[in-house]
Amino acid sequence: MVRMRPPIIASDSPPGEKLLFQKFEELQGAENWIVLHSLDIFGDIPNGQGEADFVLLVPGQGVLVIEVKSHTKIKAKGGVWTLGNDKPSNRGPVRQAWNAAHAIRNYLQNQKVDIYDVPIAACVWFTNANNEDVEPSIQWENWMLLYAKDMPKPLHKTIEGVFAGAISTFEKGKLRFSSQRAPVQKLEAIAKALRPEIVIEKTAEMRVAEIAGWAKSAVEQQLDIVEAIRGLTKPFLLQGIAGTGKTHIAIHEAKQAHMRGERTLLTCYNSLLAEYLKSELSGYARVEVKHFHKFMTDLVGTENIPEDDRAWWSETLPKLAIEKLVELPLSERYDTLIVDEAQDLGLATYLEVMDFSLEKGLENSYVLFTGDFQHQGIYLDGSAALGNYRTSIKNLSVLNPLSKNCRNTKALGDQVMDYIGEPNAYSGYLRKDEGLPPSPGIAQNNAEISSILFSELDRLTKLYKSENIVVLSSNKTMLEQVLASKNVARTELGKPATGKIRWGSVQSFKGLEALAVLLVEFEPGYGASKETFYVAATRTLSEFVFVYPSSLLAKVF
Residue 29 sits in which domain range? 3-194
**Residues 470 and 396 grouped into a single domain:** no
DSSP three-state, residue 471: strand
DSSP line for 474-517: S-HHHHHHHHHHTT--EEETTS--TT-EEEEETGGGTT--EEEE
Calculate the average pLDDT of the chain: 88
Which residues face 540 on adjacent strands? Answer: 514
Among residues 150, 179, 194, which one ends one of the domains? 194
Q: pLDDT tens digit string along 545-556?
A: 999 998 888 888
State the Cα–Cα distance between residues 440 and 164, nearest whole angstrom.
57
Among residues 175, 194, 213, which one ends one of the domains? 194
Q: pLDDT tens digit string along 46-80?
A: 554 578 999 999 999 999 999 999 999 999 887 78
Q: How far is CA 278 from CA 216, 254, 272, 425, in A?
A: 18, 11, 10, 31
Confidence of residue 526 (pLDDT cuts 50, 70, 90): confident
State the Cα–Cα distance between residues 557 and 235, nearest whole angstrom.
37
Does residue 200 belong to any structural domain of this protein? no
Does residue 388 belong to any structural domain of this protein? yes
Confidence of residue 530 (pLDDT cuts 50, 70, 90): confident
Does residue 297 belong to any structural domain of this protein? yes
**Residues 380 and 447 grouped into a single domain:** no
Confidence (pLDDT) at 207? 60
**Residues 484 and 438 grouped into a single domain:** yes
State the Cα–Cα distance between residues 390 and 346, nearest whole angstrom.
10
Indicate if the pLDDT at residue 224 is higher than 70. Answer: no
Confidence (pLDDT) at 97? 94
Mean pLDDT of the region 137-149: 92
CA atoms within a 13 Å half-sphere pointing along the CA-CB vector of 309:
9
Output the furthest CA–CA distance in the chain (Å, rounded).
Answer: 103
DSSP line for 315-369: IIHHHHHHHHHHHS-GGGSBSEEEESSGGGG--HHHHHHHHHHBTT-GGGSEEEE
**Residues 86 and 10 grouped into a single domain:** yes
State the Cα–Cα distance between residues 506 and 527, nearest whole angstrom.
10
Q: Other CB atoms closer than 10 Å to residue 244's CB: what's the count?
A: 27
SS3 assignment for 266-328: EEECCHHHHHHHHHHCCCCCCEEEEEHHHHHHHHHCCCCCCCCCHHHHHHHHHHHHHHHHHHC
Confidence (pLDDT) at 43? 56
Indicate if the pLDDT at residue 200 is higher than 50. Answer: no
- Report which residue type is found at 548: Y
**Residues 51 and 82 grouped into a single domain:** yes
SS3 assignment for 89-124: ECCCHHHHHHHHHHHHHHHHHHCCCCCCCCCEEEEE
**Residues 468 and 393 grouped into a single domain:** no
Indicate if the pLDDT at residue 95 is higher than 80. Answer: yes
Does residue 213 belong to any structural domain of this protein? no
Q: Other CB atoms closer than 10 Å to residue 364's CB: what's the count?
A: 13
Conformational region of residue 45, where left means phi above 0, alpha means psi within -120 to 50, and beta covers everything else: beta
Instruction: Give 448's DSSP letter.
Output: H
Q: pLDDT tens digit string along 30-51?
A: 888 999 999 988 754 555 457 8
Q: pLDDT tens digit string along 241-299?
A: 888 888 888 998 999 999 999 999 999 999 999 999 999 999 899 999 999 999 999 99
**Residues 383 and 430 grouped into a single domain:** no
Confidence (pLDDT) at 519? 95
Mean pLDDT of the region 387-392: 94
- Are 4 and 38 spatial neighbours (Cβ–Cβ below 8 Å)? no
Domain total in the chain: 3
**Residues 255 and 287 grouped into a single domain:** yes
CATH number (domain holding residue 479): 3.40.50.300
Q: pLDDT tens digit string along 458-506?
A: 899 888 889 999 999 999 999 999 999 888 899 999 899 999 999 999 9
Does residue 102 belong to any structural domain of this protein? yes
Confidence of residue 222 (pLDDT cuts 50, 70, 90): low
SS3 assignment for 199-216: CCCCCHHHHHHHHHHHHH
Does residue 201 belong to any structural domain of this protein? no
**Residues 383 and 250 grouped into a single domain:** yes
Confidence (pLDDT) at 199? 44
- Are 476 and 423 spatial neighbours (Cβ–Cβ below 8 Å)? no
**Residues 383 and 416 grouped into a single domain:** no
Phi, psi of 57 (to 5 degrees): -120, 105
Q: How far is CA 67 from the centre of its chain?
A: 39
Does residue 61 belong to any structural domain of this protein? yes
State the Cα–Cα distance between residues 455 and 547, nearest whole angstrom.
11
Among residues 368, 401, 434, which one ends one of the domains? 401
